[in-house]
Amino acid sequence: MGNETVPLHRRKKLDSLFEAFSILAEDTYVYLCDMVYDYSRWSKTLVQEFGLPSEYMINAGSIWEEHIHPDDKQTYHEGIDAIFSQKAKGHDMQYRAKKANGEYDVCTCRGIVITDDNGRPEYFGGAIRNHAKQSHIDKLTGLSNQYGFFEGISRQIKTHTNSRTCIIGISRLTEINEVYGYRFGNRVLQLFGRYLMEHIGNRGGTYRLDGCKFAVSTETQSLKELEESYDSLRAHFRAGINVDGTFVALELNAGALSLEDFDTDVQTIYACLNFAYDESKTRKHGDFVPFHEELNLDKRGRIAMLHDIRNNISKGFDGFYLLYQPVVHAESEKLIGAEALLRWKNEKYGMVPPDLFIPILEKDPLFPDLGEWILRTAVQETKEILKVIPGFVINVNLSYTQLEQPNFTSRVWKVLKETDFPPDHLCLEVTERCRLLNMDLLEKVILNLRSGGIKIALDDFGTGFSSMGLVKALPFDTIKIDRGFVQKIEEDDKERKLVNNFVSIAKTFGAKVCVEGIETSGMCRILREYNIHSFQGYYYSKPIEIEKLLSNYT
């Protein structure tokens, strides 16, 4: 039976009703069935995406049923049966439906029966909401969200399309929320998103990633042009905007990346972009930071390398290993511990030092797994030394992002239990960057670890602005003075005074001092006059392989 069997006036009526339905059903697919002839019209987008024969169909219910997941079929069938046998006046069901590409999307389908003047069913119409599609839209701004962003970048990688992408974020949005209220903050985001789309993103994609962060991606603009656009955007918001009668000025940050090398994946690109963004925010006062300029390496090699490193984390930590740098007692110069230092090596890149990948990957969702691997490997490999040097302490570096993982402490305890390693022979080093975390959380984590005997060291003391604040706020067992403060200690009186002051500060708070970067005998001669507990540096030993550490000291 073909469409032509349906009288023209009925076909016309269906069309006009369908248009009315479509206006109401934003973001969803619409279907409408003339029940007298079982003749229906379905949204064009649905027809295309799910590969239905046509917008107009006779007996669409059974055609659609072919697309329903086998496990959901019966419920669907019963629902439709109830409608057509007049047992039900509508339905509201969820099922998985197969798209033209063979994948299933979860859909919610809601429909009602419209009766004629005599109360007989005449039309059955409704809307189908595709969850997969819907979740790509940010409800607040109407922009494509993080999933849409990932999809866009993945497509560019897959199709080898050169592009420039920039993450742009609003500073201090939390403060705006606190001062003016949450709804006002939402309005700011909406206006910002709209402006961004109209002024930069209109030639590519505009996305809202999360919280205060947006992204624009362009296949036509150069990085330079993107930077210029950003600068005028920044000037516009810095001068202030009118939000429903209230005037606010906004400060922005921006990190960008040029995608030219397709030997990568979207997660790596995202990590690099976030790294550039954080640089803009924390070190460049909101200036436009392109990813490669922050690094000395050729940017092409860099992104591909990060991709390989990232992949190797998920492939059983392939290529990762630890070196150990001895820590000696300042007086006796005897070995009392070692610091585990991460390395990654593969055929293509050789040995890669941690500075080149840790800062970029530490925010990656995979990083906590690497962190656990580092801890496990370090305690496993050095356990033997405890038998020979009973006071030996292994130092393991932490990234601040590990500390904020909800299960961080339990993971540490689990590793120590499984390896049967005594907690009081482990020292975890944190850097000042952990000030980026919530202080209450940090304190809880540190107290938990210390309560079980684990030692905590503050690494790179003095290199940041808040070392003092941290030492005051948290109980550290050891403070490690950065090698930057002792490099010229032999000739510089000021450096000597500074180190002396650092030592008094540490003593005030009951912490021991370790000085890093001891390179000459002159340095240790001078430093030995201060109340320093331990030394670490090339003068004693460079970081070495575990075999060498064991053979030298056991």
Segment near ligand C2E (CB under 6 A); pick from 203-211, 242-250, 329-337, 348-356: 348-356
Residue 354 carries which DSSP code? G
Residues in the chain: 554
Tell me which of ligand C2E, Ca ion, none is bound by residue 342, counting a contact when its beta carbon lies within the kind-specific cut-off of 5 to 8 angstroms: ligand C2E
Distance CA 140, CA 163 (A): 27
Q: What binding mask, one character per residue, do residues 430-469 give for ligand C2E by CB under 6 A, x or -?
A: -----------------------------xx---------
Distance CA 298, CA 304 (A): 11
Binding status of residue 541 toward ligand C2E by CB under 6 A? no
Ramachandran angles phi, psi of 218, nearest 5° = -135, 140
Decide whether 221 or 536 has the Cβ nearer to ligand C2E: 536
At residue 280's C-alpha, the angle toward residues 276 and 285, to 5°, is 175
Q: Residues in contact with ligand C2E, total (CB under 6 A)?
A: 23
Tell me which of Ca ion, ligand C2E, none is bound by residue 464, counting a contact when its beta carbon lies within the kind-specific cut-off of 5 to 8 angstroms: none
Binding status of residue 399 toward ligand C2E by CB under 6 A? yes
Decide whether 252 or 515 has the Cβ nearer to ligand C2E: 515
Binding status of residue 432 toward Ca ion by CB under 5 A? no
Q: Cβ distance 214 to 169 under 8 Å? A: yes
Q: What binding mask, one character per residue, do residues 298-337 give for ligand C2E by CB under 6 A, x or -?
A: ---------------------------x------------
Binding status of residue 278 toward Ca ion by CB under 5 A? no
Minimum distance of ligand C2E from residue 523's CB (angstroms): 9
Concatenated DSSP letters of 395-431: EEE--HHHHTSTTHHHHHHHHHHHHT--GGGEEEEE-
Please state, in angstroms and as integers, the Cα–Cα distance from residue 270 to each residue in 196, 229, 255, 279, 365, following that order. Answer: 20, 21, 11, 14, 11
Number of continuous H segments (helices) and E segments (strands) in the chain: 21, 22
How many Å is the maximal CA-CA distance in the chain?
105
Q: What binding mask, one character per residue, do residues 450-479 give for Ca ion by CB under 5 A, x or -?
A: ---------xx-------------------
Interacting residue with ligand C2E among 310, 455, 483, 512 (CB under 6 A): 483
Question: What is the CB neighbour count within 10 angstroms for residue 27?
Answer: 11
Binding status of residue 185 toward ligand C2E by CB under 6 A? no
Strand partners, 252: 170
Binding status of residue 34 toward Ca ion by CB under 5 A? no
Strand partners, 94: 108
Interacting residue with ligand C2E among 301, 538, 552, 554 (CB under 6 A): 538
Q: What is the C-alpha end-to-end distance of the chain, expressed in Å? A: 89
Interacting residue with ligand C2E among 255, 442, 537, 546 (CB under 6 A): 537
Concatenated DSSP letters of 195-261: HHHHHTGGGEEEEEEETTEEEEEESSS-HHHHHHHHHHHHHHHHH-EEETTEEE---EEEEEEEE--
Concatenated DSSP letters of 261-305: --SS-HHHHHHHHHHHHHHHHHTSTT-EEEGGGGSSS-HHHHHHH
Binding status of residue 536 toward Ca ion by CB under 5 A? no
Query: Interaction with Ca ion in 364-423: which residues (CB under 5 A)?
Result: 397
Binding status of residue 105 toward Ca ion by CB under 5 A? no
Interacting residue with ligand C2E among 306, 543, 546, 549 (CB under 6 A): 543
Decide whether 227 or 429 has the Cβ nearer to Ca ion: 429
Tell me which of ligand C2E, Ca ion, none is bound by residue 358, counting a contact when its beta carbon lies within the kind-specific cut-off of 5 to 8 angstroms: ligand C2E
Tell me which of ligand C2E, Ca ion, none is bound by residue 125, counting a contact when its beta carbon lies within the kind-specific cut-off of 5 to 8 angstroms: none
Tell me which of Ca ion, ligand C2E, none is bound by residue 427, counting a contact when its beta carbon lies within the kind-specific cut-off of 5 to 8 angstroms: none
Interacting residue with ligand C2E among 7, 211, 240, 353 (CB under 6 A): 353
Reduced to 3 states (helix: H, G, I; strand: E, B; else coil), residue 550 is helix
Q: Which residues bind Ca ion (CB under 5 A)?
A: 397, 429, 459-460
Q: Which residues bind ligand C2E (CB under 6 A)?
A: 325, 340-342, 353-355, 358, 374, 397-399, 459-460, 483, 516-519, 536-538, 543
